[in-house]
Structure 1
Amino acid sequence: MGVLKFRQYDVASQKNGVIIKQSVCQPKHQIYEQFIEKQKKAYLSEFEYAQQRGVVMQSWEQLVPFLPTKEEFELKRAYVGFECKRIEYWSDGLKVIGYIWKPKNTEGRKLPLIIVNRGGSLELGKLTPRLGLRFGFYNFLSNGFVVIGSQYRGNDGGQGKEEFGGADIHDVLNLIPLAKSLEYIDTNNIFMFGASRGGMTSYLTLKQGISVNAVAVIGGLSDLEANLNTFPELLNRWQKLIPDLKKNRGSCLRDRSAVYWSDKLDSPILILHGSADWRCNLDSQALALAQKLQESQKSHQLIVYEGDDHFLSFNRENSEKRIIEWFKSHMK
């Protein structure tokens, strides 16, 4: 039985990153007024939670001038010259769901890649065909990048079970062989972007030795135990996701917290964080990690947006511009 298991694993590993099938994305139709109303509802909810925790956020009225204009919305919604593909690919013998955002015409081109690590967990915060309208995938594409992201195992119809930074990290690592199979990807120029939990995922893949030119993280999670001190409601959710968390809380959380192994983060890292982020506290997450990176003499840059939230709602364009500049400065 031992030999048989080894052979099964070997076969599975050989298939890692192989695309099983892909289809053109079918984004939900949304008019500008619906988009604005959805943003308002989400922001007011965020504002209420912040108040309950004693965190002062700017008002919705202050945010309105920073929202996309109708013209910008229509431009990005039209997606002229670009396309989205929903993919199913192999990872550790599991069929995992992901997305590819790319120019329609890639013939004869070699394009730099951004691997995007989603935030949230399970179905909350998962990738959608037009998530880029909010987080800048359109801006990434219009600046010459291809974007690929995983939903992580067990989500959006994929096989397996998410472990919030456990074996599901392989689902990101296996995007590297997937990218190498695509003739239009410039494999000398691969970058990584993560938001919130996606920041933790990005750090963990670096710990596992992924080779990327540079990384950018918004509102990243870098100390899980400290995060529970300011957001204790997360514990119940994490206990359902992280194997053995109830028995080995200390080691499980440290294994996922980059502040404890900053010496393993060898790619240049751009850290962007809002000072009014109640979900991932600035001091215990971004500032703490930046201090550790400084001590470890690791290449990094920290940008703090005063008064902004977890999603950098007031600095959407500026943060995307800084990320693109960071990646371009690390092109080979």
Structure 2
Amino acid sequence: MRNYLLFLLVVGFVFVTACSDDKKASILVEKEPIQLTEQYSGDVEGFAIKYKSGQLTIAGYILMPKQMKKDAPVVVFNHGGVLDSGAITKSMLEKLAYWPSEGYILLASQYRGVAGSEGEFSFGDGEVTDVLNLLKVVPEIEGADEDNIFMYGLSRGGMVTYQAIKRGANIKAAASVAGISDLVSGYNQAPSSFKYFLYERLGFLKGNLDSYKARSAVYWADKIDVPMLLIHAKHDPVIPIDQTKRLAKMLEAEQKQVKLRIYDSKYHTLSDQIDNYLAEVKTWFEQYGQS
């Protein structure tokens, strides 16, 4: 009798565990088609998505080729800006459609507290978690190659990219365009408006140095363990190029795979060099991807 009860207990446990696994919610909870312009509408399909990041539901996008090849590589894009000023817009999506037109699946998060996402705005913390959870959507996309994922970020998105790598993002290679890599020197050099923003989010530099360093890749270059392409405008008026130059030197000192590319531009986001730098990022990813 005792053995029979034990048997029933084991069977019940297995059954409950199996049911629990079956009931595990998908990370991707909403996927609605969006319309792209005629330039890409024939080749690219887009979706506005919502996905789970912990207890929050986060907005984002998936862009993919209409003619999907088996095992399509994936690119995760991390946007810049703060609050709604950096949210992904339709015009930005048109530029990001470059990736599916080249055979890649593109994923992008709006981050928490922005553009329809739940939660409070975060700077260099919660949004990194949102990006790491976005990576969990990849296995739910039919045809996506889970072993061929790449990531790049623009401005603040570069900072998010560095942090995602530090926190274990499973990617083959990464790129940063005009990325923030040193908030300590950035605080001292920043205009008063941005300095006040940093004070509101992180407190004064003095007394909160650890928080600033935790968001500054120059203080933990040894944690950047994927091939890294660093792109910056020579005359960037927002994020001094010295930050990226310093990070490149530190990565070289750590014997990391890194390439520094400086464009002769006066625009922070290299808006006059988009086609050029996208092609260069793609070449970088191809160099380290699996064929």
What interval of TM-score do these two structures reach, taking the shorter chain for normalisation?
Answer: 0.7 to 0.9
Q: Which amino acid aligns with 2:196?
A: N
The TM-score normalised by the length of structure 1 is 0.75
TM-score relative to the length of structure 2: 0.85
Cα–Cα, structure 1 residues 221 and 236, in superposed 2: closer, same or farther, change >3 Å? same
Do 1:16 and 1:174's aligned partners in 2 also have CA atoms closer than 8 Å?
Answer: no
1:103–1:307 distance in 2 versus 1, CA, 3 Å: closer
After superposition, what is the alpha-carbon deviation per residue over 1:131-189, rounded to whole angstroms, capped at 9, x for unaligned? Answer: 143xx423222211110011111111211112211122110001121111212210111
Query: By how many angstroms is 1:246 displaced?
Result: 7.2
* Structure 2: gaps spanning 5 or more residues: 1-19
**SS in structure 2 of the partner of residue 21 of structure 1:** strand
In the alignment, the residues of structure 1 paired with residue 33 and residue 207 of structure 2 have an alpha-carbon distance, to the nearest angstrom, of 43
Matches within 5 A, 1:208-247: 208-232=167-191, 233-242=193-202
Partner of 2:116 in structure 1? 157
**Partners of 1:143 and 1:247 in 2: CA distance:** 47
> Does the CA-based 8 Å contact 1:17-1:91 persist in structure 2?
no
Counterpart position of 1:295: 253
State the shift of 1:239 in Å.
3.4
Q: Tell me the distance in 1 between the aligned counterparts of 2:237 and 2:26.
A: 36
1:262 matched residue in structure 2: 221
Summarize deviations over 1:176-204 as a string: whole Å, max 9, x none.
21111212210111000100000000000
Secondary structure class of the residue paired with 1:98: strand
- 1:21 counterpart (30, 34, 56): 30
Which residue number corresponds to residue 44 of structure 2? 82
TM alignment of 1:57-76, pairs within 5 A = 76=39
Q: Sequence identity, in percent?
A: 32
SS in 1 for 2:289: coil
In structure 1, runs of 5+ residues without a counterpart are 1-10, 28-73
Distance 1:209 1:154 in 2: 24
Amino acid at match of 1:235: K
Q: Which residue in the other structure is 2:138 paired with?
A: 179
SS state of the match for residue 168, structure 2? coil
SS at match of 2:187: helix
Distance 1:277 1:132 in 2: 24
Distance 1:130 1:83, change over 3 A: farther
Point out the more displaced range, 222-231 or 250-259: 222-231
SS in 2 for 1:314: coil
Once the two structures are TM-superposed, the CA of residue 22 in structure 1 deviates from its matched residue by 1.6
Aligned partner of 1:121 in structure 2 is 82
Q: Structure 1's 320 and 239: CA in aligned 2 closer, same or farther, altered over 3 A?
A: same
Cα gap change, 1:238/1:185 in structure 2, threshold over 3 Å: closer, same or farther?
same
Greater RCO, 1 or 2 (C-alpha within 8 Å, sep 6+)? 1
Runs of 4+ in structure 1 off by over 4 angstroms are 14-17, 244-248
Is the Cα contact below 8 Å between 1:22 and 1:87 reproduced in 2? Answer: yes
Q: Which residue of 1 aligns with 2:14?
A: none
Q: Spell out, residue by residue over 1:4-26, the C-alpha distance to the aligned partner (whole angstroms, 9 max, x if none).
A: xxxxxxx9xx9787111121225
The number of aligned residues is 268
- C-alpha contact 2:57 2:118 (8 A) present in aligned 1: yes
Asked if 2 retains the 8 angstrom alpha-carbon contact of 1:17 and 1:176, the reply is no
User: Amino acid of the residue matched to residue 312 of structure 1?
Assistant: L
Deviation per CA, 1:105-135, whole angstroms, max 9, x where unpaired?
Answer: 43x62210000001012111111234143xx
- The 3 A distance-change label for structure 1 pair 162 and 105 is same
User: 3-state DSSP class of the match of 2:236?
Assistant: coil
Q: Distance in 2 between matches of 1:17 and 1:295?
A: 42
SS in 2 for 1:290: helix
Match of 2:4 in 1: none
Q: Amino acid of the residue matched to residue 115 of structure 1? A: V
Tell me how large the CA RMSD over aligned residues is.
Answer: 2.2
Q: Separation in 2 of the partners of 1:276 and 1:300? A: 21
2:205/2:212 contact within 8 Å kept: no
Q: Which residue of 2 aligns with 1:60?
A: none
Aligned letter for 1:171?
D
In the alignment, does 2:150 pair up with 1:191?
A: yes
> Which structure has the greater CA radius of gyration?
2
